[in-house]
Structure 1
Amino acid sequence: MSNRITTLFKIEYPIIQAGMIWNSGWRLASASSNSGILGLIGAGSMYPEVLREHIQKCKKATQKPFGVNVPMLYPNIQEIMDIIVEEGVKIVFTSAGNPKTWTHWLQEKGITVVHVVSSVKFALKAQEAGVDAIVAEGFEAGGHNGRDETTTLTLIPMVKEHVRVPLIAAGGIATGKAMLATMILGADGVQIGSRFVASTESSAHQSFKDVVVSAKEGDTQLTLKELAPVRLIKNAFYNEVQALYKTTPTVEELKTLLGRGRSKKGMFEGDLEAGELEIGQVAGLIHDIKPVADIVSEIISEFESAKVNVSNL
């Protein structure tokens, strides 16, 4: 399978394993890359030296391309970028910030830069900043989302109308059929997050993985829009948030309830009641935990079968 995404990243299949906080360590990234897709280390949940360790271990575990996802709202951003350069990482996905800030700086050092957006407006800003590709992420996605609540089905063709650079679809994609659907709508490839949370190599706590595979339609909700919109599984923490909303809280009151380390507590440490359990709506289609290689094989097999079925319509 060859197109603009496989050529850009030198990978076999146009699939990117999302760099998710507390889920995407070196084991997941290297297993993904070894399976023919692009693996990403999620730097958002790592102190700089922890990130360096994960990059070094990933380099030992795979000879294939991998990258690092960097949410630009986190502290120590300069140190993180310096480590990426020092360790010879050649692909960086940026998010949650202005793409103009780091794109040229990284590209001058031979690094391919991709920026994650949630709207046509920000896609155009990313293209203007000179990024090599864009991830357009729909409202269905887990974790932090855009405020416009545009679904993947409508976002991808709208962004496609306005951008020339390679386009990667994200949000609600866990199957080969969904991959084909978004590519028919104009995407050159897909970024998949939630499905890889429920993988053997994910660094998520086993209890969180178990909750993901047992999730049903309607079990996730986008909330905390006053801070940074986040989709998570409904649990005791979510119920506390909803109870606080009934009092018309201030932003400071919401921040106090959220506190620090809430997502680590839920996804990495396995506190299913007090933790923040970030996952996409597509969790309702995820029913098992298996190795990354098996997940990729199933997605590609279904993608190829779906192409044949579509041609017969």
Structure 2
Amino acid sequence: MPNRVTELFKIKYPMIQAGMVWNSGWKLALAASNAGILGLIGAGSMYPEVLREHIQKCKKATSHPFGVNVPMLYPNIQEIMDIIVEEKVKIVFTSAGNPKTWTTWLKERGITVVHVVSSVKFALKAQEAGVDAIVAEGFEAGGHNGRDETTTFTLIPMVKEQIHIPLIAAGGIATGRGMLAALVLGADAVQIGSRFVASEESSAHQAFKKLVVDSKEGDTQLTLKELAPVRLIKNKFYNDVQDLYKTAPSVDQLQQLLGRARAKKGMFEGDLVEGELEIGQIAGLINDIKPVAQIVEDIMDEFILAKEEIINL
């Protein structure tokens, strides 16, 4: 089903596997790209040389396109970008920062640049910066998020009205019906994260994957807006955060409670008590752990069926 996004990335289906911290290693990106979508390696949880290793392994294992997601709030950003260029990665998704900082630099080196935003205002700034496409992400999404709590299906048509470059919808999408709805509202493609956390190829700890599958409606909450808004599964750490909020804490107190490497502890090491467990609201619709290829096939089958049902109304 060719459109602006499939042509931009040279992929079969208008779907991107999100480059999530502690979940999106080379095995996930490889499986996604081989399934006909765009796989992304998540650089946010990798030291520069670890990222290089993941890129090299993915390049060696597939001839299909893949990219790297780079949250710009992390250190070593220059080294990360240099490695991406040295390893001849052709697609970079940037997030959590000003798109003007790196877009021109990357495009001058022949790289396709996509920026993740959570508002119309930042979508326009990204377009002005010269990005090739935009991911508009609603607050249903897991991980770091927008402060305004704009939902995906409110955000997509608002952004669509204001930009002329390809638009990718993200946040709360894990099914073919969700994908169809996003495209009807004006998106050219979807970016999916949480559904691929619960895949066999995800680098997340098995205990975290199982918790995602077991999660129900209301089991996640957006919090820590004073630091960087993040959607978490409610566990002891989340409850500790809420208890601290009752004391009107300072930013320093919140940062002290968060500490370092808490996301790694939760998602990668499987500490479901003290870890930071990032996942989207759509976890309530995720009921099993499957290979990526099967997930993509299921989504596309449901998409086609739902589209036929709409046509026949």
TM-score normalised according to structure 2 size? 1.00
Q: Superposition pairs for residues 75-86 of structure 1, below 5 Å? A: 75-86=75-86
**Segments ≥4 residues shifted beyond 2 Å:** none
Shift of 1:291: 0.2
Mapped to 2, the partners of 1:179 and 1:270 lie a distance apart of 30
Structure 1 letter corresponding to 2:225: K
Show the counterpart of 1:98: 98
SS of equivalent to 2:126:
helix
Show the counterpart of 2:237: 237
Number of residue equivalences: 313
Show the counterpart of 1:295: 295
Show the counterpart of 1:59: 59
SS of equivalent to 1:161:
helix
Q: Superposition pairs for residues 45-194 of structure 1, below 5 Å? A: 45-194=45-194
CA offsets, 1:196-222, max 9 Å, x none? 000000000000000000000000000
Show the counterpart of 2:274: 274
Shift of 1:312: 1.6
Shift of 1:61: 1.5
Structure 1 letter corresponding to 2:193: G
SS of equivalent to 1:178:
helix
Structure 2 letter corresponding to 1:197: V
Structure 2 letter corresponding to 1:278: E
Structure 1 gap ranges (5+): none
Mapped to 1, the partners of 2:225 and 2:237 lie a distance apart of 16
CA offsets, 1:46-98, max 9 Å, x none? 00000000000011121100000000000000000000000010000000000
Mapped to 2, the partners of 1:153 and 1:108 lie a distance apart of 34
Shift of 1:128: 0.2
Percent of pairs with identical residues: 81
Structure 1 letter corresponding to 2:254: L
Structure 2 letter corresponding to 1:29: A
Structure 2 gap ranges (5+): none
Mapped to 2, the partners of 1:13 and 1:214 lie a distance apart of 29
Structure 2 letter corresponding to 1:138: G
Q: Superposition pairs for residues 301-312 of structure 1, below 5 Å? A: 301-312=301-312
| Residue 213 (structure 2) pairs with residue 213 (structure 1) | yes
TM-score normalised according to structure 1 size? 1.00
Mapped to 1, the partners of 2:153 and 2:52 lie a distance apart of 37
Mapped to 2, the partners of 1:62 and 1:301 lie a distance apart of 24
Shift of 1:256: 0.2
Shift of 1:170: 0.1
CA offsets, 1:153-174, max 9 Å, x none? 1000000000000000000000
Mapped to 2, the partners of 1:61 and 1:196 lie a distance apart of 19
Mapped to 2, the partners of 1:61 and 1:274 lie a distance apart of 36
Mapped to 2, the partners of 1:218 and 1:311 lie a distance apart of 33
Mapped to 1, the partners of 2:76 and 2:139 lie a distance apart of 28
Mapped to 2, the partners of 1:86 and 1:119 lie a distance apart of 33
Mapped to 2, the partners of 1:60 and 1:212 lie a distance apart of 31
Mapped to 2, the partners of 1:162 and 1:235 lie a distance apart of 39
